[in-house]
Structures are given as structure tokens and as C-alpha cells.
Amino acid sequence: MFWYILKLLVLLPLIGGLAWASLKFAKRMEGKFSGGTGPKSVRIIETQMLSPTLRLAVLEFHGREILVSAGKNGIVRLAEAPSRTKADAVEEEAVQ
């Protein structure tokens, strides 16, 4: 019983430290493997959680804003509109 507790006291912090270090390493390397340094053609403008398994997202793609639903079954395009300029977005926020 003594050896079990001794191993537990040694290995539990070691496993926790390895998990913490891997999360820190993943966060640091997140931007390094994005595929390129050029301009991106897809940009996420806004996301909203509807339920634990369903999310709405507004994507900008080649001057268009696309509303998509992302869930367990995949991604579904719901609507599409011309992209708003920054002046239009500020004007809409002022009205609301």
C-alpha cells in the first residue's frame, strides 16, 4: 500500500505537469502551422452559441458574408449577403 501511495504522489504531479506543458506548447505553436503568410480568403466575423451542440457563425469570403450553422452533422449555409463596410457596421450599431 505504501508503494502505491508513493507512486501516486510522484506520478500524479508529473502527469499534470506534462498536460500543462503540452497545452502551453500547443498555444505557442498555434500560429506557426496556419499554412501560409499571405492574406486569408476566409475570415470569421462573429460566432454565437445556440446550444451546446449548435453554433451560428458569420464568415466573410470574397466580399460576401455567409451565415452558417455548425453542429454535430456538419456545416450548413443558411444565408448570404454582400459584405458590410466598417461605416455600415458603425451606423447599424448607432441605430440599435
Q: Please check the confidence at residue 74 and state whether its pLDDT lies above 70.
A: yes
Cell digits for 53?
A: 451542440
Among 17-21, 32-36, 38-42, 48-52, the range scoring the smallest mean pLDDT is 32-36
d(CA 73, CA 54): 10
CA distance 11 to 33: 32
Q: How many Å apart are CA 58 and CA 80, to the nearest integer?
A: 9
User: What value does the CA radius of gyration of the chain take, rounded to a whole number of Å?
Assistant: 22
**pTM (2 decimals)?**
0.52
pLDDT value, residue 24: 93
Q: How large is the average pLDDT for residues 35-56? A: 84
Average pLDDT over residues 2-21: 93
> Positive or negative CA dihedral for 77, 78, 83, 89?
negative
